[in-house]
């Protein structure tokens, strides 16, 4: 495999990764820093999976920043074909050139006795129009052919069709791209490749095998606090700490959309703007729309906010939160929605359609608990992986 001779992007150690990322405003933990270190040392792509807003995309951007590499981003979507990912021919330019070269072309075919002879003559010159000059490089080819080393971000790879996934495989295995009309391009300096997935469909075993795998979960309290701190939101330390605990408490609720890290940051900034130094349930309830995006989620959250702000507080009905949670959960599965649930998950398109369907409030969403009674647990690590596991468990076959 080609290795760069003078690549300034190398990290000297795992600690070096952690400190350079922290300087750029991205807070890692040991596992994350180790994985990044290995990505850069083994020249292996990394597949990042996990709930929304845990820093998957940001990780790739930060990797580009701290290594001084250019960031090439391929945003995947359904129905995307390889011309958007690899390369395409610049038809407009080809046409323009044939117009401009009309006289020359006329010269070439001037003494051809008939049409087959004229076509044969033009064919002899056709390669000119399928050369590097008329090739439009899309991110995959650009990452491999470009002179400058790159970080290639293949974002939300689970949204791409399987046919395109096969193209990724081919390209990432050898860091090569073949253009039949021209030949094979091989990377001088292999790009650092980051793939992200929200797990709306299973990725092929072949793709997973070629990648280092990292599940990015919601961070633990200390790291989330460090992230909030690093964003200089202006919220006093004690309030920020309390806010992080409240958000972690919200993530334990059966919500349609759990608050992500970016929402914790937004909430902290909002409270600062409002001049809040000490948290109380009232001000949090008034600003809850910063972190929760569905009315029903807000209603659920408002009920438990007083207890989340002050865990020692005795509330009428407090201590029944888990019964309440499972109640809500059960309602959500009633009738038609339960039915839809059974059918969702046959393929990525179904899962996505189910996730986009308004009014669905079940464990198909990250941050919502799996099937069965909901039990209030202390917010801890693994909040995202539980809901992630629930999503996987529901898959047929
Ligand atoms: N470890 C971190 N350090 C600093 N900021 C972070 C970290 N993780 C997440 N963030 C913040 O959270 C925001 C959201 O992260 P990002 O967009 O990367 O999430 P994502 O996992 O790609 O989500 P999605 O699946 O919705 O695309 C970032 O812009 C960044 O401000
Ligand atoms: Mg993202």
Interval 262-287: pLDDT, tens: 999 999 999 999 999 999 999 999 99
Question: Could you tell me if the CB of 53 is within 6 A of ligand 1?
Answer: yes
Question: Could you tell me if the CB of 146 is within 6 A of ligand 1?
Answer: no
Q: For 14-85+141-215, CATH number?
A: 3.40.50.300
Strands 70-75 and 212-215: unpaired
Indicate the top mutation candidate among 31, 57, 221 to test ligand 1's pocket, ranked by most ligand atoms within 8 A of CB.
57
Closest Cα to atom 9 of ligand 1: 55
Question: Could you tell me if the CB of 55 is within 6 A of ligand 1?
Answer: yes
For the CA of 52, the nearest ligand? 1
Interval 190-207: pLDDT, tens: 999 999 999 888 899 999
Higher pLDDT, 124 or 277: 277
Contact 47, 255 (CB under 8 A): no
Give me the residue spans of the domains in the chain: 14-85+141-215, 87-134, 221-393
Q: How many CA atoms lie within 13 A of 182 on its CB side?
A: 20
CA distances from 3 to 6, 41, 132, 175, 357 (A): 9, 10, 24, 11, 47
Q: What is the largest CA-CA distance in the chain?
A: 99
Question: Could you tell me if the CB of 350 is within 6 A of ligand 1?
Answer: no
Interval 351-373: pLDDT, tens: 444 444 433 333 333 433 333 33
**Rounded to two decimals, what is the model's pTM?**
0.77
Contact 44, 210 (CB under 8 A): yes
- Determine the pLDDT at residue 202: 87
């Amino acid at each position: 495999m080609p290795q760069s001779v003078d690549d300034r992007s190398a990290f000297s150690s795992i600690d070096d990764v952690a400190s350079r990322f922290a300087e750029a405003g991205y807070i890692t933990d040991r596992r994350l820093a180790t994985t990044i270190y290995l990505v850069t040392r083994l020249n292996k792509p990394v597949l990042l999976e996990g709930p929304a807003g845990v820093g998957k995309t940001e990780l790739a951007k930060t990797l580009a920043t701290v290594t001084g590499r250019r960031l090439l981003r391929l945003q995947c979507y359904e129905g995307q074909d390889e011309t958007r990912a690899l390369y395409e021919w610049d038809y407009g330019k080809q046409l323009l050139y044939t117009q401009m070269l009309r006289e020359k072309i006329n010269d070439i075919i001037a003494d051809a006795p008939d049409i087959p002879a004229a076509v044969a003559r033009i064919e002899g010159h056709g390669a000119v129009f399928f050369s590097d000059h008329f090739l439009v490089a899309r991110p995959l080819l650009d990452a491999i052919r470009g002179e400058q080393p790159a970080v290639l971000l293949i974002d939300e790879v689970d949204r791409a069709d399987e046919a395109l996934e096969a193209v990724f495989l081919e390209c990432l295995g050898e860091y090569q791209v073949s253009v039949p009309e021209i030949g094979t391009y091989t990377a001088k300096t292999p790009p650092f490749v980051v793939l992200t997935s929200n797990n709306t469909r299973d990725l092929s075993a072949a793709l997973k095998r070629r990648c280092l795998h990292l599940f990015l979960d919601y961070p633990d309290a200390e790291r989330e606090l460090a992230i909030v701190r690093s964003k200089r939101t202006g919220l006093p330390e004690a309030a920020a700490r309390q806010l992080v605990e409240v958000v972690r408490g919200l993530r334990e609720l059966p919500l349609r959309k759990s608050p992500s890290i970016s929402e914790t940051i937004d909430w902290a900034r909002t409270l600062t703007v409002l001049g809040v130094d000490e948290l109380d349930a009232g001000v949090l309830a008034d600003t809850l729309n910063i972190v929760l995006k569905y009315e029903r989620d807000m209603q659920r959250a408002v009920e438990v906010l007083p207890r989340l702000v002050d865990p020692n507080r005795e509330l009428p009905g407090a201590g029944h939160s888990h019964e309440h949670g499972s109640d809500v959960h059960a309602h959500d599965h009633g009738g038609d929605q339960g039915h839809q649930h059974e059918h969702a998950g046959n393929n990525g398109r179904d899962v996505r359609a189910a996730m986009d369907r308004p009014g669905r409030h079940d464990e198909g969403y990250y941050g919502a608990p799996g099937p069965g009674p909901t039990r209030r647990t202390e917010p801890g690590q693994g909040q995202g992986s539980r809901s992630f596991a629930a999503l996987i468990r529901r898959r047929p076959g």
